[in-house]
Structure 1
Amino acid sequence: MATFDRRRIPAPEDSKPPVYLSTTAGPSRSRGNDELRPLFIKTGLVTQANGSAYVEADGVKIACSAFGPRPRPPPFTSTGTLNVEVKFAPFASQVRRAPLRDTEPVSHAAVLTNLLLPAVHLHLLPKMSVDVHIYVLEGDSDASVLAAGLSAACVALADAGIPLSGLAVGSTVALHGSTALLDPSGPECTGADATLTLGAMPALGRATSLHMTGEADLDAVCDMVEAALAGATSAHDAVAVALFDGVQ
Structure 2
Amino acid sequence: MATTIDRRRLLGPANAKPLVFAPLPEEYQQKLQIDASKEDDIESQITRTFIKSGLITNANGSSFLELDGNIVSISVYGPRPIRGSFVEKTTLSVNLEDNTGLFNDLLNKKFCQYIENNFLSVINLSKYPKSGIDIFINIISVQDIDQLYLKLLSLVSDATTLAIIDAGIEIIDLVVSSFDYENNTVLSYIKNDEIVGILGESEDSIENLSKIIEKTQKKSIHVKNALTTHLISTSQ
How far, CA to CA, are the matches of 2:155 and 2:39 in structure 1? 20
Structure-1 separation of matches of 2:37 and 2:232 = 30
Alignment correspondent of 1:60: 70
Is 1:198 aligned with 2:187?
Answer: yes
User: Given the alignment, which residue of 139, 161, 169 partners 1:154?
Assistant: 161
Contact kept in structure 2, 1:50 and 1:67, CA below 8 Å:
yes
Distance 2:95 2:107 in 1: 8
| 1:44 maps onto 2:47 in alignment | no
Deviation string 1:150-194 (CA, Å, 9 cap, x unpaired) is 11111100011100011112111022xxxxxxxxxxxxxxxxxx4
- The structure carrying a bigger strand percent of its residues is 1
Partner of 2:140: 137
What secondary structure, in the 3-state scheme, does the structure 2 residue paired with 1:157 have? Answer: helix
What is the rounded CA distance, in whole Å, between the counterparts of 2:108 and 2:35 in structure 1?
30
- Deviation at residue 143 of structure 1 after TM alignment: 0.3
CA distance in 2, matches of 1:225, 1:109: 23
TM-superposed CA distance for 1:116, in Å, is 2.1
TM-score normalised over the length of structure 1: 0.72
Report SS of the residue matched to 1:228. helix
User: Which has the larger helix fraction?
Assistant: 2
The C-alpha deviation readout for 1:134-153, integer Å capped at 9, x for no partner, is 10111223202210111111
Distance 1:217 1:149 in 2: 22
Find the residue that maps to 1:119 and give its secondary structure: coil
Q: In the alignment, is the contact (CA less than 8 A) between 2:91 and 2:131 conserved in 1? A: yes
Q: Which residue of 1 aligns with 2:87?
A: 77
Judge conservation of contact 1:136–1:145 (CA < 8 Å) in 2.
no
Instruction: State the one-letter code of the partner of 1:40.
Output: F
Quote the residue 2:14 is aligned against: none
Change (3 A) 1:217 1:155: closer
Deviation at 1:29, TM superposition (A): 4.0
**1: CA distance between counterparts of 2:208 and 2:172?**
30
Normalised by the length of structure 2, the TM-score is 0.75
1:34 Cα deviation (Å)? 4.5
Q: Which residue of 2 aligns with 1:238?
A: 226
Cα distance in 2 for partners of 1:48, 1:103 equals 30
Contact 1:34 1:227 in 2 (8 A): no
Give the Å deviation of 1:31: 3.8
Q: Distance in 1 between matches of 2:106 and 2:209?
A: 31
- Report the identity percentage: 24
| Amino acid in the other structure paired with 2:98 | F
Aligned-pair Cα RMSD in Å: 2.7
Q: Which residue of 1 aligns with 2:6?
A: none
Query: Using a 3 Å threshold, how does the CA distance of structure 1 residues 70 and 104 change in structure 2: closer, same or farther?
Result: farther
Going from structure 1 to structure 2, the CA distance change for 1:206 and 1:217 (only over 3 Å counts) comes to: closer
| Matched residue type, 1:105 | N
Q: Which amino acid aligns with 2:140?
A: L
Structure 1's unaligned 5+ residue stretches are 1-17, 91-95, 176-193
Distance across 2 between alignment mates of 1:68 and 1:55: 21
Is 1:167 equivalent to 2:155 in the alignment?
no
